[in-house]
Amino acid sequence: MGLTKTEVFTDQQNRVADLAKAFAHPARVAILQLLAQKKACVCGDIVDELPLAQATVSQHLKELKRIGIIQGSIDPPRVCYCIDEVVWQEARQLFGKVFDSVIVEKSCC
């Protein structure tokens, strides 16, 4: 199996790539939009609001939580999720730096 060679990139480049994974699937984008819309922790409603199976939603929530862009609290038998404001602001700042650092000329191609 090949190595990803993430160690040859800066910590910031690796973090931007990791945060970008949160937006790399439409289901994760939909989950983030749902959580942002609710402006509160969501407990159990996520599956009811998306046209996806429970297992699929759980896998996407797991990835979003691993990245750190959402946080979950366990209150058996429910798990409540919300956007982590600190990480959300970190993502906004890092993506902004990436976009601001690249100037694309109109006549490039």
Question: How much is the pLDDT for 41?
Answer: 83
Question: How much is the pLDDT for 106?
Answer: 73
Spatial strand order of the sheet with 42-43 comes to 42-43, 78-83, 70-75
Residue range 9-95 forms a domain whose CATH class is mainly alpha
**What is the residue extent of each domain of the chain?**
9-95
Residues of the chain with pLDDT under 70: 1-3, 107-109
Return all residues near 84 (Cβ < 8 A) that are at least 6 apart.
Answer: 68, 69, 70, 71
pTM of the predicted model as reported, rounded to 2 decimal places: 0.83
